[in-house]
Amino acid sequence: MSRDVGFDVNSETRSKDGRPALRLLAVPVAVGAVTGALLSIIAPYETGAIFSPWQGLLFWTWSSVVAALLLTACGEAVSTIGGENRVPKYIAISVATVVAAVPITLIVYATAPAIDDDIKLLPFWQLFPSVLILCIPLQIVLTLLSGRRVGDVAKVAETAPGLRSPLLDKLPATLGRDILCMKMEDHYLRVFTAKGDALILMRMGDAEAALGSAGQRVHRSWWVAREAVRSVKTSNNADCLILSNGLEVPVSRSRRQGLRDKGWLH
């Protein structure tokens, strides 16, 4: 006899930043595995009565790992698009979650019958909301663990209330806070933002300190924000970073291997 499985939406129930590819996969896989184990114990949507304990563990673990990977991929894509178009973080992540929930629902359609061929799933439009409900907290966890910052390029490190950043004090307010890169010019520093550039009197070391870990020096004369890098061009055994504003920044030979190890030159 076939059994109907329906997820009740009223039931209670989250590389361009320089991270190694292995870590990009390890985090969602680990989160998905833990989530799947917990869901197999909780057995939401009456899955405890549908699957045996081992079937439930297999179903929820596989579905959760694949869901975490898809949510991460959508989140990373949205980080890039959102950074270029100034999309608010909560909107971008919400869109990424809804988009990812579509293929995740299809994965459920493929997984459940493969584990128990007596299962008959509800139509997509009824199953999708329940899948989306589980995707929301999973996406939140993944976003928090990845430190993903949608809509930011390289925000100047936040200071305590009442204090000011020496770098921001020197930049014209019209240029905003999104620092793409900086270039040393004699005793001056040319700072490029998403809205233009300005020449200020400041040491590179002091400016780097103000920006924190948003980027790093790629050449003796150049600092680049990691989120500003769009592609890499190699010519005559020399690497050049192509930034979001179209600027081409050279990479020195001495820093090439370090940048490659951090994933900048993939």
Q: How confident is the model at residue 6 (pLDDT cuts 50, 70, 90)?
A: very low
**φ, ψ for residue 161, nearest 5 deg:** -55, 135
pLDDT in tens, 70-112: 998 888 777 666 555 556 677 878 888 999 999 999 999 888 8
Using CA atoms, how far apart are residues 101 and 116, in angstroms rounded to an integer?
Answer: 22
pTM (two decimals) = 0.51
Question: Would you state the structure tokens that stand for residue 130, as one six-digit string?
Answer: 């329940």
| Percent of the chain surpassing pLDDT 70 | 79
Topology of the domain comprising 166-261: OB fold (Dihydrolipoamide Acetyltransferase, E2P) (2.40.50)
Domain extents in the chain: 3-146, 166-261
The confidence score (pLDDT) of residue 113 equals 86
pLDDT band for position 173 (cuts 50, 70, 90)? confident
